[in-house]
């Protein structure tokens, strides 16, 4: 620690003004930026300074009290969470974490909504008549999307407030910084760059022609793949029209042209013939599904994959017996209190077994791990970050298969 030099000792999210902008990025005034800075610092404070207190309370109060009353230790993460719910430290942290998410949504939505018509007009200019945007207004949103708005994002990814609207894409894109604290980098694409790097390192001879990302939202995780393989054509499928419209505008404005955005459900991609893709990617996607849709999607990926192709799913780590119950309970927080209802179940599933049930061979399965790749001069690097923000850290597992 350099003595008495707060700037040299600084550890935390960068100022929001380092964020990368593009033609569809909403305008942000001084106070809107500072709101985002404040909220990113709130999340950092909760992770760095409040969570350790919750952990200590668990060890010193919650677990011993459970054992004293039940005559046995806490046996699983659900018992751990329910016991934590009785504890003031967990409750205070939870109340603060929840309201910070609500403040984040309000802040981001205000910025996007107050310029909604201008953004829609820019999106129209960028995408009108471009056949790389294929929307399907007859697509029904599944129950697992409509029942609760994921991560408390009002209107989720799909709601349009007027024809041509991109509000929910703009909100998701520009204010996600609050939750990721800059760990995803300048264009929130550190996850995509990590995957591209992983593939280049692990499969040096792989030269995909057709790449598909299911649940690509505005393209954060997809564009880096298109950039890493400029000869390939990248297809991004999602359920939400506002995010896809925004996504194509964003991609074009960032100069990434080998992409197309298609509104469809990954459960039924019959618009594409069998063996259409060399690489099928999903990123931070499986946890926002349901058991049946996940199975249907895995089966579709098997059908759509060409011989020699790969499917990769990038997700937060699964609950394994070695993972302490406290950590599992904390990771489950998003499932119960941040509207991520499939999170808990998905993270306990045997994904290898699911892949095999979908038609992949056990000895063809792929396992790995990645951390976000960012511009280290400006952004914090998840690989160096020893804080644990339970489920939100930019470090993921890779599960996949080749055929």
Partner 1 sequence: MSVTDALRGAGAKPAGKRPYFLDAEVERVLAITMSIAQELAVSRQRTDTLERLLLEKGVLSQGEIDSFVPDRAAAAERALWNQEYIARILRIVQQENEAVDRPDDIASEDVAAEVGAQS
Ligand X SMILES: C[S@@+](CC[C@H](N)C(=O)[O-])C[C@H]1O[C@@H](n2cnc3c(N)ncnc32)[C@H](O)[C@@H]1O
Could you give phi then psi for residue 123, rounded to 5 degrees? -65, -40
Q: Could you give the string, one character per residue 312-351, with x where binding to partner 1 holds by CB under 8 A and - elsewhere?
A: ------------------------xx-x------------
**165 near ligand X, judged by CB under 6 A:** no
Helical residues (DSSP H) of 20-166, grouped into ranges: 30-45, 51-57, 63-70, 77-84, 88-113, 116-127, 143-146
**167 near ligand X, judged by CB under 6 A:** no
Task: State both tokens at 13.
Answer: 């999210």
3-class DSSP state for residue 157?
coil
Residue 191 contact, options partner 1, ligand X, none, Cβ 5-8 Å cut-off depending on partner type? ligand X
Binder of partner 1 out of 18, 46, 96, 139 (CB under 8 A) = 96
| Among the listed residues 401, 379, 391, the one whose alpha carbon sits nearest the alpha carbon of residue 193 | 379
Residue 135 contact, options partner 1, ligand X, none, Cβ 5-8 Å cut-off depending on partner type? none
- Choices 121-129, 259-267, 303-311, 358-366; region in contact with ligand X by CB under 6 A: 259-267
**400 near ligand X, judged by CB under 6 A:** no
Residue 339 contact, options ligand X, partner 1, none, Cβ 5-8 Å cut-off depending on partner type? partner 1
Residue matched to tokens 């990590």: 194
Residue 109 contact, options partner 1, ligand X, none, Cβ 5-8 Å cut-off depending on partner type? partner 1
User: Dihedral sign, CA of 240, 242, 245, 247?
Assistant: negative
**160 near partner 1, judged by CB under 8 A:** no
Q: How far is the CB of 240 from ligand X (least distance, A)?
A: 4
What gap in Å lies between CA 288 and CA 103, rounded to an integer?
A: 22
Write the DSSP string, 170-213.
HHHHHHTHHHHTTTTTTTT-HHHHHHHHHHHHH-TT---SEEEE
Size of the site for partner 1 (CB under 8 A): 43
Q: Could you give the string, one character per residue 208-227, with x where binding to ligand X holds by CB under 6 A and - elsewhere?
A: ------xxxx--xx------
Task: State both tokens at 48.
Answer: 């760095």
Helical residues (DSSP H) of 315-382, grouped into ranges: 325-331, 333-337, 343-348, 351-357
Binder of partner 1 out of 14, 26, 37, 256 (CB under 8 A) = 37
Binder of partner 1 out of 47, 63, 80, 116 (CB under 8 A) = 116
Binder of ligand X out of 108, 191, 380, 400 (CB under 6 A) = 191
**85 near partner 1, judged by CB under 8 A:** yes
Name the burial class of residue 346, with classes exposed (0-12), middle (13-18) and buried (19+) by CB atoms within 10 angstroms of its CB.
buried
Task: Tell me whether residue 214 or residue 298 sits nearer to ligand X (CB atom).
Answer: 214
């Amino acid at each position: 620690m350099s003595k008495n030099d707060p700037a040299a000792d600084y550890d935390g999210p960068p100022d929001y003004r380092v964020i990368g902008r593009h033609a569809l990025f909403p305008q942000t005034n001084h106070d809107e930026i500072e709101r985002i800075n404040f909220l990113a610092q709130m999340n950092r404070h909760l992770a760095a300074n409040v969570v350790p207190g919750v952990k200590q309370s668990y060890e010193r109060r919650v677990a011993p009290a459970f054992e004293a009353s039940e005559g046995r230790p806490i046996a699983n993460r659900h018992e751990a969470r329910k016991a934590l719910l009785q504890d003031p430290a967990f409750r205070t942290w939870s109340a603060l974490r929840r309201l910070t998410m609500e403040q984040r949504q309000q802040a981001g939505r205000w910025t996007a909504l107050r310029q909604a018509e201008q953004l829609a007009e820019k999106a129209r200019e960028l995408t009108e008549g471009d056949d790389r945007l294929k929307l399907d207004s007859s697509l029904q949103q599944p129950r697992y999307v409509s029942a609760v708005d994921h991560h408390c994002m009002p209107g989720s990814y799909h709601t349009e407030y007027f024809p041509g609207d991109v509000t929910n894409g703009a909100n998701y894109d520009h204010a996600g910084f609050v939750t990721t604290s800059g760990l995803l980098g300048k264009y929130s694409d550190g996850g995509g760059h990590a995957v591209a790097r992983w593939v280049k390192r692990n499969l040096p001879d792989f030269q995909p022609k057709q790449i598909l990302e299911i649940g690509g939202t505005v393209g954060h995780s997809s564009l880096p793949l298109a950039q890493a393989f400029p000869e390939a054509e990248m297809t991004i499928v999602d359920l939400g029209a506002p995010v896809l419209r925004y996504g194509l505008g964003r991609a074009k404005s960032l100069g990434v042209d080998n992409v197309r955005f298609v509104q469809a459900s990954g459960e039924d991609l019959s618009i594409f013939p069998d063996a259409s893709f060399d690489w099928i990617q999903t990123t931070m996607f499986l946890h926002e599904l349901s058991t049946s849709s996940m199975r249907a999607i895995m089966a579709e990926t098997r059908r759509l994959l060409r011989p020699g192709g790969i499917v990769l799913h990038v997700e937060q780590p699964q609950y394994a017996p070695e993972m302490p119950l406290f950590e599992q309970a904390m990771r489950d927080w998003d499932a119960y209190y941040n509207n991520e209802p499939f999170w808990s179940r998905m993270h306990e599933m045997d994904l290898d077994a699911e892949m095999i049930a979908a038609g992949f061979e056990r000895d063809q399965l792929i396992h790995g791990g990645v951390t976000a790749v960012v511009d280290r001069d400006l952004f914090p690097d998840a690989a160096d970050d020893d804080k644990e923000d339970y489920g939100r850290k930019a470090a993921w597992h890779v599960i996949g298969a080749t055929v």
